[in-house]
Structure 1
């Protein structure tokens, strides 16, 4: 993977890490911080369906992958619409873990790219889930 890909991936963690800290030290109101956090989380979760959309189209798959590519966006939107508090944070966290597992077993990337991608995604997802936990206890 290109260094730029990795830099952008890790830069995407900035809001996940900074918002709980800003709330904890009192620079951001807890409720507004929570709202900004879950909105950002939902947007980023939606992003992860895109790689499956591309993979399904590029590899001319007619199986479940094309349909599953829409799930992160739908789950994120429905979660924002109908959930709140720790339930919303929990569903978003579990969705990140679920799409990571799906990535690992379904994506048809070259083996070395898939290994690098999965390694990076595991690191990113770990930080994201921990940030959700931290936000739940703020």
Structure 2
């Protein structure tokens, strides 16, 4: 992690912290995915893969548990992705319209995720997979409009993670 060191006595504490966070998320090696993001992102895929495989169990109780757990985990992660947009809505230089848009969009994934948990398995899984695809497409569009919105490595990581999530979702959808 790059650190801001000494020097500028005009830096307010909050600004210095923002700079440290900005530097740590924007890797000094362009295109390089920071190790914590890569390791935690890949680790986050393990429950998707595990419960997708478990959903092929011949035992109805095991399959039911796998499907329920897959839905719950998927809903949690989808809500987390919405939270990214809430954080972006906190940027100080946004217009009221931009803030409303980002914070409103942030609320959509958790609402869809909650509805998916309440829906029958087949419908819930398709709702989640559709929202994952829409969320990724929205982030691609947002990054296209504002190329500095996310670091380049983030969208590459998101693409790989999203593909695995969608593939495991398709596998699970065949089991209901």
Q: Same fold (TM over 0.5)?
A: yes
1:44 and 2:66 aligned: no
Length-normalised TM-score, structure 2: 0.70
1:22 and 2:58 aligned: no
Instruction: Count residues with an aligned counterpart.
Output: 136
- Give the equivalent residue in structure 2 for 1:94: 130
1:114 and 2:157 aligned: no
Length-normalised TM-score, structure 1: 0.88
CA offsets per residue over residues 51-91 of structure 1, 9 Å max, x none? Answer: 1111111244332111101111111112212x112211111
1:59 and 1:5 map into 2 onto residues whose CA distance is: 25
Bigger Rg over Cα: 2
Structure with greater contact order relative to length (CA < 8 Å, sep ≥ 6): 1
2:147 and 2:91 map into 1 onto residues whose CA distance is: 11
Structure-to-structure mapping, 1:29-108, within 5 angstroms: 29-61=62-94, 62=96, 63=98, 64-81=101-118, 83-106=119-142
Instruction: For structure 1, list consecutive stretches of 5 or more residues without a partner in the other structure.
Output: none
Instruction: For structure 2, list consecutive stretches of 5 or more residues without a partner in the other structure.
Output: 1-32
Large movers: runs of 4+ above 4 Å: 25-28
| 1:105 CA displacement | 2.1
Q: Give the root-mean-square deviation of aligned CA atoms.
A: 2.0
1:6 and 2:38 aligned: yes
